[in-house]
Amino acid sequence: MNITAAIVLYENDEVELAQAIDSCLASSLISKLYLIDNSTTQKLAHVKKDERIAYIHNPKNIGFGAAHNIAIHQTNSTYHLILNPDISFLTGVIEQLASFMEEHQDIGTVMPKVLYNQGEIQRLCKLLPSPMNLFGRRFAGGSKWGKALDASYELYDFTYDYVLDVPNLSGCFMFARTSLLKEIGGFDPRYFMYLEDVDLVRRIGQHARTVFYPFVSIYHGYRKGSYANGRLMRFHIQSAIKYFNKWGWFIDSERRKLNKITLDRIAKHKL
């Protein structure tokens, strides 16, 4: 079994990045770690401290998905891990996820339980978004209506203690079959940042299962940058428009079907 991993960089905190790198390299199953750097300079190049690291600097910021595609197109591994630079995890996580995938050949990608650094669960299992979900939570997130939208979209009834097929998994940590990533062409590079993971998982889901696996945990130093930064919010809105232009705004039968299946599974588990 051969596993590769990739982290896209952009002016990152070096202490935080070192934790992500060390977490990956602690697993003997990972044969190569791609560091794809979109930063304006190569000041992060010195983090290439292990022969398993391949550092690639792009002359300009080509975006999150396009940068990850460099690694996806180069690797010939069995599994490929896509993770953020603010991720850390203990030894054994990679091994357990790989074992789970080996036992379930119908799964295309799996996401473990994701925790804040303080240990709280991040609710990253979600339904496929509607325009109301994305635009409503941006502009009416604090209202009673906005909170009700979030409760459904973020699957508040899901207890995160059993395996669940989920149509929308976070791109902060995606353990996927490399052959399937290549088959679908990797990330859609039209998304500069935001929603590229929603799009990718959805396309994986057209060929294989996309699954949440609760029996291992990772830590994610998550920051809601797009809420506080006007430029990032603009990227988020632009990506949302591209996503709905591609998949459908208010008429999306696949979204309706997959979301209903997910909600029905959760409701059945509560009985």
Q: What is the mean pLDDT of the chain?
A: 93
CA angle 244, 122, 105 (to 5 degrees): 70
Residue 39 confidence (pLDDT): 96
Q: What share of residues in the chain are helix, strand, coil (percent, to 5)?
A: 40, 20, 35
DSSP state of 168: B
What domains appear along the chain, each with residue ranges and CATH number? Answer: 3-117+166-241 (3.90.550.10)
CA 78 vs CA 4, 6, 101, 102, 136: distances in Å: 8, 14, 10, 10, 40
User: CA–CA separation, 38 vs 10, rounded Å?
Assistant: 5
Q: Do 227 and 92 meet the contact criterion of CB atoms below 8 Å apart?
A: no
- Over residues 24-42, the pLDDT tens digits come to 999 999 999 999 999 999 9
Residue showing tokens 């339980």: 113
Write down the residue that tokens 């009416």 correspond to. 140
Taking residue 151's Cβ as centre, other Cβ atoms within 10 Å add up to: 11
pLDDT, tens only, 211-221: 999 999 999 98
pLDDT for res 222: 73
Nearest to 169 by CA among 246, 82, 260, 247: 82
Q: Is the pLDDT of residue 140 over 60?
A: no
Judged by average pLDDT, the poorest of 92-96, 150-154, 227-231 is 227-231
Give backbone dihedrals phi and psi of 146, rounded to 5 degrees, phi first. -65, -40
Cα separation values, 239 from 4, 91, 226, 255, Å: 28, 35, 12, 18
Question: Is residue 57 a contact partner of residue 39, using CB atoms and an 8 Å limit?
Answer: yes
Question: Rounded to an integer, what distance in angstroms lies between the CA atom of residue 268 and that of residue 266?
Answer: 5
- pLDDT tens column, 109-132: 999 999 999 999 999 999 999 998
Of 62-71, 229-238, 245-254, 257-266, the poorest mean pLDDT is in 229-238
Long-range contacts, stretch 242-248, CB < 8 angstroms, 24+ apart? 242/190, 242/191, 242/195, 243/129, 243/191, 243/195, 243/198, 243/199, 244/131, 246/188, 246/199, 247/199, 247/202
- Tokens describing residue 88: 């850390």
Contact (CB, 8 A) for 21 and 81 = no
Per-residue pLDDT, averaged over 250-254, amounts to 94
**Percent above pLDDT 90 for the chain:** 83
pLDDT in the model for residue 229:
63
